[in-house]
Copies of this chain bind each other. A is one copy, B any other.
Amino acid sequence: MPNPQLNQHGELQHLLTIEGLPCEVLTHILDTAASFLSISDREVKKVPLMRGKSVFNLFFENSTRTRTTFEIAAKRLSADVINLNIDASSASKGESLLDTIDNLRAMHADMFVVRHAQSGAPFLIAQHLNAHKQRYIHVVNAGDGRHAHPTQGLLDMFTIRHYKQDFSNLTVAIVGDVLHSRVARSDIHALKILGVPEVRVIGPRTLVSSHMEEMGIRLYTDMAQGLKDVDVIIMLRLQNERMNGALLPSAQEFFKNYGLTVERLAMAKPDAIVMHPGPMNRGVEIDSAVADGSQAVILSQVTYGIAVRMAVMSILAGN
């Protein structure tokens, strides 16, 4: 079965997941993003690459933050952006997801940026468009359920490459609720594809999956051991909704065991960088002294995120 993300020339048609993408496609996105980085510094922060294109932000799950990054990226590419916050429950009542998509493509949409609580929703949309030979319409997954968040994965790779240049000799640790994290999943796929030799996952036994070992990931339940000599630490956001379940005792307990403090950070290499996809729960997964410290590159991630999203959108629109 061909990769539904790639067209017959092997070019990116949709960005649904990092899994299965060729290394050159990832590298091309990162290189393009690098060229966009300077645009946001200019007096006039706009390029006309998507002038007159209609980009629909289809957010079936509310996320002001992610929606904003895509809206800025699209506007800096001169696209027309239409925001649609669709309450998933009312959507299911009135009209099916694919009827909504068919309507919007009949309005000559050029791109759908899709956020959905259900894993696979962007895939479903892309397959539907492919089946209808709508090859001028592109889908970007802006986060689907626990499945994938590929632009976050890409911006994390951009950040790592920026600070560490070379992927081929790094040790990267991902810390927290890896089991439920689409960010972790996208990061792990990207790190593997780009050739990172050692990827570690650190978290309580209930929040890491033993499947991961089959993927060549090393599991740690102890922070001191897991952080030893790593080059990159990716902290995950602890979802509040998981906190009061059987999986996790409490925020305080989590911080005691897995919160990133100055002391724990000292286990890593002296030039290790600290990343976080945001928004941070200060005092839960990360201590403020670390979050605001000199090794944190969390705000750089945000800046690079705009450039990476501009790169993804303009590459898709050009294919």
Interface residues of chain A, those whose CB is within 8 Å of chain B, are 40-46, 51-54, 64-65, 68-69, 71-72, 75-76, 80, 82, 84, 86, 93-96, 99-100, 102-108, 240, 278-280, 282, 299-300, 302-303, 305-306
Bound CA span A103–B298, Å: 9
For A300, the chain B residues whose CB sits under 8 A away are 106
Q: Is there contact, CB below 8 Å, between B44 and A72? A: no
- Min CB gap A100→B, angstroms: 8
What are 20 residue pairs bridging A and B, where the CB atoms are less than 8 Å apart in the complex? Answer: A40-B107, A40-B108, A42-B52, A43-B52, A44-B51, A45-B52, A45-B80, A52-B76, A64-B86, A68-B82, A68-B104, A69-B107, A72-B107, A75-B80, A75-B82, A96-B282, A102-B299, A107-B303, A107-B306, A108-B303
Bound CA span A305–B240, Å: 43
Known contacts A95-B280, A96-B282; decide if A103 and B65 are in contact (CB<8 Å). Answer: yes
Q: Is there contact, CB below 8 Å, between A82 and B86? A: no
Q: Is there contact, CB below 8 Å, between B107 and A302? A: yes
Find the residue from A54, A76, A106, A305 having the highest chain B CB count within 10 A: A106
Bound CA span A179–B43, Å: 43
Bound CA span A20–B289, Å: 36
- Min CB gap A200→B, angstroms: 27
Q: Is there contact, CB below 8 Å, between A68 and B53? A: no
Bound CA span A277–B178, Å: 45
For A54, the chain B residues whose CB sits under 8 A away are 45, 72, 75
Bound CA span A80–B306, Å: 15
For A103, the chain B residues whose CB sits under 8 A away are 65, 278-279, 299, 302
For A282, the chain B residues whose CB sits under 8 A away are 96, 99
Bound CA span A302–B280, Å: 41
Q: Pick the contact of A94: B72, B76, B84, B279 (CB < 8 A).
A: B279
For A45, the chain B residues whose CB sits under 8 A away are 52-54, 80, 108
For A280, the chain B residues whose CB sits under 8 A away are 95, 99
Q: Is there contact, CB below 8 Å, between A302 and B106? A: yes
- Min CB gap A306→B, angstroms: 5
For A102, the chain B residues whose CB sits under 8 A away are 299
Bound CA span A38–B106, Å: 13
For A94, the chain B residues whose CB sits under 8 A away are 279
Q: Is there contact, CB below 8 Å, between A68 and B107? A: yes
For A278, the chain B residues whose CB sits under 8 A away are 95, 99, 103
- Min CB gap A301→B, angstroms: 8
Bound CA span A107–B76, Å: 11
Q: Is there contact, CB below 8 Å, between B40 and A46? A: no
- Min CB gap A96→B, angstroms: 7
Closest 5 CB pairs of A and B: A44-B52, A106-B302, A95-B279, A40-B108, A106-B299
Bound CA span A262–B65, Å: 47
For A71, the chain B residues whose CB sits under 8 A away are 82
Bound CA span A284–B119, Å: 29
